[in-house]
Amino acid sequence: MTMADEDTEMTRALRGLASDSSSTRLRAALAVGTAPDPRCVDELVGRCAVEPDFQVREMLTWALTRHAPELILPRLLGELRSERAQARSQALHTLSKIGDGSAWPAITRELMTDADDEVARSAWRAAVVLVPEGEEHGLAAALATQLGRGGRETQLSLSRALIALGEATTPVLRAAMSDPRPPVRQHAIATERLSRDPSAGFDFAIEEAKRIVALGTNGQEE
């Protein structure tokens, strides 16, 4: 393929990313990822911030991971300061897929406590992937401040993040299991139960936690 042909292919793919058809956008993102081109990175990052289709967003993330980390990391880190929640969320999601530890300082407490649940959930996942050895306890403490937050999916995401940190989570969960706020106490108890018996499932763990809190105990003596 000549240089002119490659330019034509790139132009066609970039045009496809802006199509009204989600299937066209999906194919375009696949094409860019299959033949990575540094000239496409800005368009990929920008599209992540506005793309409404989940499958297309996943393909955009994959396409970005096909490029050199030193090329895409600065652009993704810049997106973390965006006023658009989806831009922050998708940048965090992509950072978690890349797994480059140099991005760790950018996973701030502000992002982990973001008012938008999707941003916060993405930050939790990225933090668990990127946390340096020895900083797990500090991360667990930061994540524990979000116990009791949101609905089922948000709480499940946080439980998974805390469980992924292993033993570092034990002290913060035990403290939260005596928290005066029932939602926090329930979530902490459910997470502790789930960490001991993953096969039980989150819904069962939450129902058990509600029962324990209703009885006026914290479950630690059971």
Whether 164 is covered by a domain: the verdict is yes
CB 51 within 8 A of CB 24: no
What's the pLDDT tens digit per position in 36-72?
999 899 999 999 999 999 999 999 999 999 999 999 9
Query: What pLDDT does 218 receive?
Result: 67
Domain count, the chain: 1
Q: Is residue 14 part of a domain?
A: no
Confidence of residue 9 (pLDDT cuts 50, 70, 90): confident
pLDDT confidence band for 3 (50 / 70 / 90)? very low
- 138 in a structural domain: yes
Question: What pLDDT does residue 55 have?
Answer: 97
Whether residue 90 is contained in a domain is answered as: no
The pLDDT assigned to 4 comes to 45
> Is the predicted pLDDT of residue 6 greater than 60, yes or no?
no
Q: What is the mean pLDDT of residues 109-128?
A: 98
pLDDT in tens, 75-99: 999 999 999 999 999 999 999 999 9
Task: Determine, yes or no, domain membership for 46.
Answer: no
d(CA 148, CA 134): 26
What is the residue-wise DSSP string for 9-64? Answer: HHHHHHHHHT-S-HHHHHHHHHHHHHS--GGGHHHHHHHHTT---HHHHHHHHHHH
Distance CA 204, CA 126 (A): 27
pLDDT (tens digit, 9 = 90+) per residue, 169-219?
A: 999 999 999 999 999 999 999 999 999 998 889 989 999 999 999 887 666
Q: Is residue 213 part of a domain?
A: yes
Range of the domain at 177: 133-222
Q: How far is CA 85 from CA 14, 82, 222, in A?
A: 23, 7, 41
Residue 207 falls inside a structural domain: yes
The encoded tokens of residue 121 equal 């959930």
Place of tokens 């973390």: 80
Q: What is the mean pLDDT of residues 147-164?
A: 97
pLDDT at 25: 95
